[in-house]
Amino acid sequence: MNRRVAVTGIGVVSPLGVGKKVFSRRLFAGESGIAEVASFDTSPFPSHRGAEVRDFEPRDFVALKSLRRMDRLSSMVVASARMALEDAGLEIFEGNRDRTGIILGTAFGGTDVKTRCARILATEGPAGINPILVPNSVMNAPAGHASIELGFRGINTTVTHNGTSAETALAYAAAEISRGRADILLAGGADILSEFFFETMVHFHGLSPQDGQEERAVPFDKARNGYVLGEGCGLLCLEPLDRVRQRGTEPYCEMTGWGLGSSPAPSTDWPEDPKGLILTIHRALQSAGCSPGEIDLVLACANGGRKLDQMEASALLQIFGEGGIRPRVTSIQGALGESFSSEGIRAAALALAFREGRVPPTLGVSSPLAPLALVTGKSRETTIRLALLDAASFGGTYAALVFAAPEN
């Protein structure tokens, strides 16, 4: 089979708010979710800012009895899944649950739970660990909780592909829908900002500020000095387009192509050579049956990191050229921080850009790194027919997805 894949629902738990309405309003208004970290003490570290989820109340989405068995990351995923299904106008019942599932990307999983288990093991031994903690320490716990809570009996898979986990999960889900192996799939990614994760990234020497100047996230700016960490969950509801038409639902967009790739890179840094990303984007464009000149918007993965931003800018210039008609380019990492696999939120932002006819701005740019058609300052109205979302992870892993306006 070769069914067309439609995006029909969005579920987000993000630093800009919980739910698509507040997320969309703040995103297109050019607001940032980055502030001083409040959930733990950052005084021992040179970095102190992060994009935390601050207004999330799990009990609004999960019964207290079930919530007692979940970690924080799982509760975000369950909440996002509920919101995505509700937004799509879907209910799960005996007639559709066998072909409904979730494919979730997570780069690091519940780092708070894993750290807690390790501390208890070191101080009290195995007997001191609460048995409820152990199931939540595995990478597939959030997807498992979502399937249990929502009653799925279809595909349940967790993708761990570092900073491209969410995009890889979306490509995997779209392929399963296209091949006729599922009818409803929730796909995207989730990760959390914990003290252990924060300190680990400090030791990777990638966080802002790298030069003692102002701590901030300024993608594609010459004065960038590192990335700011974020967290959250973003899920899309994917369905075959023919079924969507039958029930009279208007999709946000279609997912028409995807490509994956890699190239040698340090395990804790991004590659300098753009060839791997260029090949990956071309694979996605070929999969979608379109040329670079047809792309209207690129939602970039630049995060303020010195090496990543330069590499991505170079790749985009080689693909789309410096002159003539170029796609608009934006990165929303200055609002969301670098959240690795919760980059599923970026996919949600792109779906909303199709619906709103607007491009969210790249925040903080005063001296652009390269002659890209960057959208800065404030959001911009534009017609989006085809859009590209690309992702790159340290260690040299890439993913690219192509989305199209409904019926394009």
**Residue 130: predicted pLDDT:** 82
How far, in Å, CA of 279 to CA of 260, rounded?
A: 9
**pLDDT band at 408; cut points 50, 70, 90:** low
pLDDT(310) > 60: yes
**pLDDT band at 323; cut points 50, 70, 90:** low
pLDDT in tens, 24-81: 999 999 999 999 999 999 999 999 999 999 999 999 999 999 999 999 999 999 999 9
How far, in Å, CA of 260 to CA of 281, rounded?
A: 8
pLDDT(226) > 60: yes
**Residue 51: predicted pLDDT:** 97
For residue 343, what are its two tokens? 């980059």
**pLDDT band at 322; cut points 50, 70, 90:** low
pLDDT(235) > 70: yes
Structural domains of the chain, ranges and CATH numbers in brackets: 5-246 (3.40.47.10), 256-404 (3.40.47.10)
How far, in Å, CA of 403 to CA of 285, rounded?
A: 10
Amino acid code (one letter) for 184: I
DSSP tag of 13: E
pLDDT(212) > 80: no
Residue among 51, 154, 69 at smallest CA distance from 110: 69
pTM of structure:
0.96
**Residue 116: predicted pLDDT:** 86
**H helices present in 268-399, as ranges:** 275-288, 306-320, 333-336, 344-356
**Residue 1: predicted pLDDT:** 66
Name 331's Cβ contacts closer than 8 Å, sequence gap at least 6.
219, 220, 299, 300, 301, 302, 303, 362
**pLDDT band at 186; cut points 50, 70, 90:** very high
Beta-ladder partners of 380: 359
pLDDT(190) > 60: yes
Across the range 258-286, mean pLDDT stands at 94
**Residue 194: predicted pLDDT:** 95
pLDDT in tens, 54-69: 999 999 999 999 999 9
pLDDT(324) > 90: no
pLDDT in tens, 279-297: 999 999 999 999 999 999 9
Name 384's Cβ contacts closer than 8 Å, sequence gap at least 6.
296, 297, 353, 354, 357, 359, 405
Amino acid code (one letter) for 83: M
Angle between helices 72-88 and 111-123 (to 10 degrees): 160
Percent above pLDDT 70 for the chain: 99
HSE of 13, CA atoms in CB hemisphere, 13 A? 28
Name 231's Cβ contacts closer than 8 Å, sequence gap at least 6.
15, 50, 51, 52, 53, 191, 192, 193, 337, 339, 342
